Amino acid sequence: MKISKSIERSINILEAISESQGGLTLGEIQEMFLIPKSSAFDIIQTLLYTDMISVVEGIQKKYIIGLKSFQIGLSYENDMLKLAKKHLKTLAEKLNKTIFLGIIKDGEVIYLDKSEPKSPIITTATLGTRNPVHCTGLGKIILSRYTNRDIEKILLEKGMPKRTKYTLTNPEEFITEIEKIRVQGYAIDNRELEENMLCISTPILDKNKKIIAAISASGFYNKHENISENVEIMKNFALEISREIGYKL
């Protein structure tokens, strides 16, 4: 199959802009992709013309995701939600926990969908709720795809408010935990957001094997809970959702 290198490079630049905090300058894009400034400029102008990116004026021009990219993203999220819904319901009943599907937007976790068991557990999170990334399972597992530098930018911008006595508030300790999460493939919010709640979260991957969202299972903290067993169940359900949106092993 013949691949257009210029289109591939444009897509890679678009992805880098979407994953940055506050946008990227032309110089940063050039340095990141090791391409001539003229080539980077031509790609940026094309993306601007098609509304895939927008420019933020300042001391240095920065490029951020544009309206067209946002619209495409919303369409993709809607398709993902439709495919995931049946799995969330089954998982809620299997684990007897409240199941969430969420993403990171503007440095915060947003809950896109929620499914409860027959005997629901009361949580403060509702659809559309935003929560910090540093004390949520969803936030931590999705952040594991980010570079440490980008994570530090988010923490600097959003802060690390202490929600409970278990909340991590030290950036270095948090980065250490993220590095552990990258290896194990799941994240845990152990009473870090809400005092008596434990949350297990596993990633949803796209066809490029990138984390685009995550699911979480929330329930009352129980020191006797078989976390390892529940993690494996969560991983299997997240894998099934990932496969339905194009992921392949």
pLDDT of the chain along its 249 residues, tens only? 677 888 889 999 998 888 777 788 999 999 999 888 888 999 999 999 998 988 887 778 888 888 788 677 766 777 788 888 899 999 999 999 999 999 888 889 988 888 988 876 666 567 777 899 999 999 999 999 999 998 999 999 899 999 999 999 999 999 999 999 999 999 999 999 999 999 999 999 988 888 989 999 999 999 999 999 999 999 999 999 999 988 887
Residue 19 CA: distances (Å) to CA of 88, 163, 249: 26, 26, 24
pLDDT score of 112: 86
pLDDT score of 1: 66
Round to whole Å and give the CA distance between 44 and 47. Answer: 5
Structure tokens at 108: 């915060």
Q: At 173, which amino acid appears?
A: E
Q: Where are the strands (E) in 87-195, listed by range?
A: 98-105, 108-115, 130-132, 187-190
pLDDT score of 74: 66
Question: Residue 144 half-sphere exposure, CB side, CA atoms within 13 Å?
Answer: 29
pLDDT score of 224: 92
Are residues 38 and 45 in contact, defined by beta-carbon separation less than 8 angstroms? Answer: no
Specify the long-range contacts of residues 12-16, CB closer than 8 Å, at least 24 apart.
Answer: 13/40, 13/43, 13/44, 13/47, 14/47, 14/52, 14/53, 14/65, 14/69
